[in-house]
Amino acid sequence: MKLRAISLAVACLLASVALAAPKSLTVKSPSGNIGLTLTVDDSLHYSIDYDGKPVVTNATIGLNLADKQLGVKPSIKKTSRKSVSEDMKPVVPFKHSTIKNNYNELTVNFKGDYGVQFRVFDNGVAHRFVTTSKDKDVRVSDEKYNVTLKPGITAHLQQPNGFKTSCEELYTHKNINEWTPADKMSELPVLMESNDGTFILISESDIKDYPGMFLKGDGKGGFTATYPKVPTKFGYDGDRSVKIVEESDYIAHTTGTRTYPWRFMAIGTPATILEQTLVAQLAPKSEIADPSWIKPGFVSWEWWNGATPYGEDVDFESGFNLETYKYFIDFAAKYGIPYILMDEGWAKTTTDPYTPNPNVDLNEIIRYGKEKGVGVFLWLTWLTVENNFDLFKKFNEWGISGVKIDFMDRQDQWMTDFYERVCKEAANNHLLVDFHGAFKPSGLEYKYPNLMSYEGVRGMEYMGGCIPDNSVYYPFIRNAVGPMDYTPGAMISMQPYNYHASRPNAASIGTRAYQMALFVLFESGIQMLADNPTMYYRNDDCTKFITNVPVTWDETRMLKADVGNYVAVAKRNGNKWYVGAMANSKEKWRDIELSFDFLEPGKEYKITWVEDGINAPHQAMDYRIKNGTVNASTKKPVKLARSGGWAAIIEPK
């Protein structure tokens, strides 16, 4: 009897040990090059390997609610797997008109009405929480995302002073072990560069009803997530924004049945990072049933150049008035530019969107634009939009094409909801949207493809503070996650060591060829021409080149790159190819060779290219436009000046 009792006790002990033993679940990418291993013990954590080598040694995840912690002592109820192989066709193709969406998915459901979904692609991994409780009043106090990377990582970061940020800081670059909790956090996206040549791009997608995620270094080779709290009380802060006077102790107030944002890592080579479309693949589907009215395109913009055309053909006093805007419309019509943007100054005040500046005569500008085939965008502060949310209906009645909304500078739950409300109401009234003072793209541009672009970048409005040494990272960081309103197109070019310029004679750092290349390199559903029509008329060869470059793409390929030093990219629209290359300021001349093996074999192509002139390393205005013939076997040497560029248009003969 005693022996039987002992045997029973041993059996119970072994059973409890078995129940408490860690459980591992593995899911691999379709090709098998990336593997994710989930370990379920006292917490939820996973590791990632790439080409058989570890890249993430540990990622601990969890969701802390006001009354319970999801991911602590988890108990598995059910697991399921599926494989997906499909073609996606985005309404506005920023990189590819057809996206191959292939992944293997693991879903693990736990006791406590929650689960975690994992998707593993050939170029990255993603996870998100899913909750299924009937609770209508859920407060999320925190979401845990603590990641340790393999040794030898350089972190490329954008570090604001706090959660209030327009996301326009210069990048910083540091050994991840030196990024400590006492240092500034980073907004997303973040690029991690391994000393073995592997890159990891970290960002998020589908952040509906939730704050944006920021990262903090842990000083131990990894990072942790942090989030802005839900604001509860606001105060006056001028005509552009509000002050957060009080905030809650939670990051989101939501419901119990929902999906949470995807956290993803794109993993691979520089080409992998530049060409990937994980934000789109993880985004919700389009809510716009008939998107035929959505027309991406170029925009002629007056703010950067001070709205001051001049010369023999300007027989009026230029400025924010009817004659000047008609001049901009005439310029746009001449070069096939579909829109003009009327920035601050079109309205009598910044707080009243219904009373135009009497010098402008907005109705006549809209009428004249329609006569010439040119639509009109209007600039607004987000606060004015929020205080006058019926303006979308009114603007539609007026015949406005789109809105540029500015100064949000926040990523808390209230503000991310504002973005969605704007896009939805704008879509209901057939208006395009451009967000300035904005955070990074996170999938909303696919749910509402009338969202053409976001700023959230140190663009050319910074003039001398917008340097190629920083901008050369954009194809691998900021622009790698979605459209970017950088506002290129300067016709006065300078090297950084001799920059002296201000509006109305605004200038950029970088050579003229660099400016030409930006129109190929940088993605945006609406691409600004920032300079003065006068300057574009005087540089007709450059203007014709720019306006022959599309803003949407069927295919994107990185040709060559050394991240942070130079990059060359080829893009296809229809049967034409476009190539853009840019370099930093570190070398007087940089010699690269471009292969044209992306062209169809057996065909000859006409090529027109813009290159840095012999004096471009000092006189950045020096450029040459040349013509020739290329085919799929062509190997072309290209010389990039410091802060220089190279751009080409290639079409079948």
Tens of pLDDT, residue by residue over 263-280, are: 999 999 999 999 999 999
pLDDT value for 594: 98
Where do the structural domains in the chain lie, given as residue ranges? 22-282, 298-551, 576-652
pLDDT value for 21: 65
Is residue 82 scored above 90 in pLDDT? yes
pLDDT value for 22: 82
pLDDT value for 244: 97
Mean pLDDT calculated for residue range 611-636: 98
Q: What is the C-alpha separation between 174 and 440, in angstroms, rounded?
A: 22
pLDDT value for 11: 44
Is residue 15 scored above 60 in pLDDT? no
Residues 6+ apart with CB under 8 A from 182: none
Is residue 19 scored above 70 in pLDDT? no
Mean pLDDT calculated for residue range 410-423: 98
Is residue 109 scored above 60 in pLDDT? yes
Mean pLDDT calculated for residue range 240-248: 97
Class of domain 22-282: mainly beta
- What share of the chain has pLDDT > 90, as a percent? 97
Per residue in 171-213, pLDDT tens?
Answer: 999 999 999 999 999 999 999 999 999 999 999 999 999 999 9
Collapsed DSSP state (helix, strand, coil) of residue 100: strand
Is residue 18 scored above 60 in pLDDT? no
Q: Which two tokens stand for residue 68?
A: 């319970």
Is residue 52 scored above 60 in pLDDT? yes
Please identify which residue in the block is written with the tokens 């072309």: 636
Sign (positive or negative) of CA dihedral 639, 475, 275, 126:
positive
pLDDT band at 9 (very low <50, low <70, confident <90, very high): very low
Per residue in 319-340, pLDDT tens?
Answer: 999 999 999 999 999 999 999 9
Please indicate whether the domains covering 22-282 and 576-652 agree at the CATH topology level: no
Per residue in 308-321, pLDDT tens?
Answer: 999 999 999 999 99
> In whole angstroms, how far apart are CA 297 and each of 18, 375, 402, 536, 578?
61, 11, 12, 17, 16
Q: Does domain 298-551 have CATH number 3.20.20.70?
A: yes
Per residue in 494-544, pLDDT tens?
Answer: 999 999 999 999 999 999 999 999 999 999 999 999 999 999 999 999 999
Is residue 354 scored above 70 in pLDDT? yes
Mean pLDDT calculated for residue range 426-455: 98
pLDDT band at 17 (very low <50, low <70, confident <90, very high): very low
Q: What is the C-alpha separation between 236 and 439, in angstroms, rounded?
A: 22
What dotted CATH number matches 576-652? 2.60.40.1180
Q: Which two tokens stand for residue 621?
A: 């205005």
pLDDT band at 227 (very low <50, low <70, confident <90, very high): very high
- This prediction's pTM: 0.95
Per residue in 603-622, pLDDT tens?
Answer: 999 999 999 999 999 999 99
* Contact indicator for 609, 596 with CB cutoff of 8 Å: no
pLDDT band at 456 (very low <50, low <70, confident <90, very high): very high
- What share of the chain has pLDDT > 70, as a percent? 97
* Contact indicator for 650, 576 with CB cutoff of 8 Å: yes
pLDDT value for 565: 98
pLDDT band at 2 (very low <50, low <70, confident <90, very high): very low
**What are the residue numbers of the active site?**
406, 461
pLDDT band at 373 (very low <50, low <70, confident <90, very high): very high
DSSP one-letter string for 581-621: EEE-SSSSEEEEEEE-TTSPTT--EEEEEEEE-TTTTT-TT
